[in-house]
A and B are shown apart, each in its own frame.
Chain A
Amino acid sequence: MKKNICMPKLSEKMESGILAAWNKEVGEKVENGEVLFEIETEKVVSEVESQESGMLEAVYFEAGDEIKVDEIIAVISCD
């Protein structure tokens, strides 16, 4: 099963966030609870943990990209 990972909404007024850094690469194994990437919005840096275990199959953005809330950032193919 494939799961889309989207830009989370971290505050009422948040419309988009910057994908600050990837902690995983395409093809890498991801465990539930591991940090997948970091985002920055409104001067807050947040670690975003994976809610799934599986393999990071695809990423659609690179570090520095501004991404709208709910836009798909990556796909995990679940165990």
Chain B
Amino acid sequence: MIYIENNATDPFFNFALEYYLITEKNLNADQIFIFWRTEPTLMIGKYQNTIEEINEDFARNHGVKVVRRITGGGTIYTDMGGWQFSFITRGQAENIDFNKYIEPVIAGLEKLDVPAEFNSRNDLVIHGKKFSGNAQCILNGYTLHHGSLLFKTDFEQMVKCLTVDDNKIISKGIKSVKERVTNIFDHLREPIDTDTFRQLMVESIMQGSKKEYRLTDEDLERIHTIAKEKFENWEWNYGKSPKFNIIRTGRFDGGKMEFKLDVNKGKITDCHIYGDFFGSIDILVLCHALIGCNYESQSIKIAIAQCDIKQAFYNIKVEELADIIC
């Protein structure tokens, strides 16, 4: 097993590193291990509907990054108080196997007297509370297993990021399962800091091996490109969501307004507007403007601005209307 030290905290870069090692760089190693962390980030499962899983307004206003993983499962929140671990293994097991990746992690925690167990959802728990989610993908002849470790994560912020408005969304994607969580730090006999925890875990998992690969300038350049082109891209993070229907309702002094939208590959494909204060104005103009536009605030504002909404909706600003829709 080869260790790659990665101190970058940008989630787009860190996911690009995994992707680069799987799809481009052949390190000629049976297994690569990376232990890393991120700035506050929401990591969405590959086949999830992003807007169904996160509180986007809160995330945007608090600088929380949003990125889709290449692995399955649900959405998690990560910050500088937690760690992520990745095992990239050449080949593919006949049967899905989480144990072989999780056992070394449990063994590392045992050395710290933390009583960790594995539950039926492939999560790690302490006294029934989750502190680690795990997911995999099989891609290009490699198996990627990565997992999270909550060490000293801000749960208040986590809950706010994952508390979604009560929109009526109908979709087929993979749904997240809410579980009770706990931080490893709260179960330590002797308190240690976040960096010491990393050092001890890496030493334990590498079992004293010093085999290491240092990323070259050439590697870094490609990884930055992949980060920008793939993982930071709206099309990947939002546009790849499975198709869904959403109902959004807004209230004004003048009455109530309801949008029923079909969204496919991140674009509005159908739109119906219902309300009790339209009078004789033709709302089809607005519907037509919205169809084909990305289901994203800025695109919607541009689309609305093209319609003469002052005539159609008394006292409603473009921003207010866009806020109802998205």
Contact = CB atoms under 8 A, between A and B. Distances in A.
B172 A42 contact: no
B275 to A, nearest CB: 31
A58 interface: no
B136 A45 contact: yes
Interface residues of B, number: 25
A47 B139 contact: yes
A20 B138 CA distance: 13
B174 interface: yes
B148 to A, nearest CB: 12
Main secondary structure of the interface of B (DSSP, over half): loop
A53 B308 CA distance: 55
A3 B97 CA distance: 29
Nearest to A46: B138
A44 B95 contact: no
A45 B96 contact: no
B288 to A, nearest CB: 27
Interface string B57-72: 0000000000000111
Given A45-B46, A45-B47, A65-B172, A11 B72 contact: no
Interface in B26-52: 45-47
A19 B135 CA distance: 17
Contact of B96 (A14, A18, A47, A63): A14
A74 interface: no
Given A45-B72, A65-B172, A40 B46 contact: yes
Interface string B96-140: 110000000000000000000000011000000000001111110
A44 B47 contact: no
Contacts of A42: 72, 96, 122
A27 interface: no
21 contacts: A10-B95, A11-B95, A11-B96, A11-B97, A21-B47, A40-B72, A43-B45, A43-B74, A43-B134, A43-B135, A43-B136, A44-B71, A45-B71, A45-B72, A45-B137, A45-B138, A45-B139, A47-B139, A64-B47, A64-B173, A65-B172
Interface of B: 45-47, 70-74, 95-97, 121-122, 134-139, 171-174, 242-243
